[in-house]
Amino acid sequence: MGRADHGFMKSNDVVLDVVLITGASQGLGLALARRLARRGHSLVLNARGAEALREASDELSRFTKVIAVPGDVSEIAEELAGHALAYFGRVDVLINNASELGPSPMPLLEEHSWESLLRIFRVNVVAPLHLAQLLLPGMRSRGRGTIVNITSDAAVNAYPGWGGYGSSKAALEHASRILAAELEGSGVRVLVVDPGDMNTEMHALATPGADLSELASPEDVAPAVLELLDGREAFARVEAQRMAVLQ
């Protein structure tokens, strides 16, 4: 499959990919949505807070076709995928970006309630897989598609207090690797992207009181993710801030 065939590259004779982004009302999800909207991609946006999601949708509708589907990604996957397919007929790129940190301050594993652990795994692991399951039949039938799972360095480093979130991201990463192996030859790519530390609400919740002003902004990191979407690897795990495309 050549780049021009992939459909993600901006071209007059290629239909641009339809992209579904969870957690798209702020932070990295919104930064990605802004970049993609300016490139003309049709977008399906999701987050729980309907008002902020509507504001994002209104902003981006000036550039492209956008539908907003508010709700908890761990509860509305069928509705989200269903609206996307009913409106656009297909989803070519799924960006599983929404994530659950758990309580702030973050508890040690031996004190972390099982209800919270279940929720973290439901949002960070099961919901992304569920969305992939719902969208894969169309991707497989077209012989192309991309699933991007946003992970964290907490998936590979044993930070005390990050056990719920970190182990869920590790599970998401390994599920991504297995999914990629199962999708070999299908034309569907699986990308695991660690965006690195960013100055966002989630990071503020993870490190209460810390000065985040020196951290990268989501807008700094988004171009690296778009560059990955333009690539051809069937599977990759990438640390976005180590790529040379930071702007």
Ligand X SMILES: NC(=O)c1ccc[n+]([C@@H]2O[C@H](COP(=O)([O-])OP(=O)(O)OC[C@H]3O[C@@H](n4cnc5c(N)ncnc54)[C@H](OP(=O)(O)O)[C@@H]3O)[C@@H](O)[C@H]2O)c1
Contact residues for ligand X, defined by CB under 6 A: 22-29, 46-49, 52, 72-74, 97-100, 123, 150, 152, 195, 197-198, 200-203, 218
Q: DSSP 3-state assignment of 66? A: strand
d(CA 106, CA 123): 17
Smaller CB separation from ligand X, 6 or 229: 229
Shortest spacing between CB 25 and ligand X, in angstroms: 4
Tokens of 25: 């009302």
156-160 contacts: CB < 8 A, separation 24 or more?
A: 160/108
Shortest spacing between CB 9 and ligand X, in angstroms: 25
* Residues 6 or more apart whose Cβ sits within 8 Å of residue 41: 16, 17, 18, 19, 64, 93
- Which segments of 90-160 does DSSP mark as H helices, in order? 114-121, 127-142
d(CA 12, CA 176): 33
Phi/psi of residue 191, nearest 5 degrees: -120, 130
165 an active-site residue? Answer: yes
d(CA 167, CA 109): 10
- Taking CB atoms, the residue at the shortest distance from ligand X is 27
Q: Annotate 11-42 with three-state secondary structure.
A: CCCCCCCCEEEECCCCHHHHHHHHHHHHCCCC
Give, in order, the Cα–Cα distances in Å from 49 to each of 63, 145, 162, 196.
22, 28, 25, 25
CA nearest to 29, candidates 20, 42, 17: 20
Catalytic residues: 165
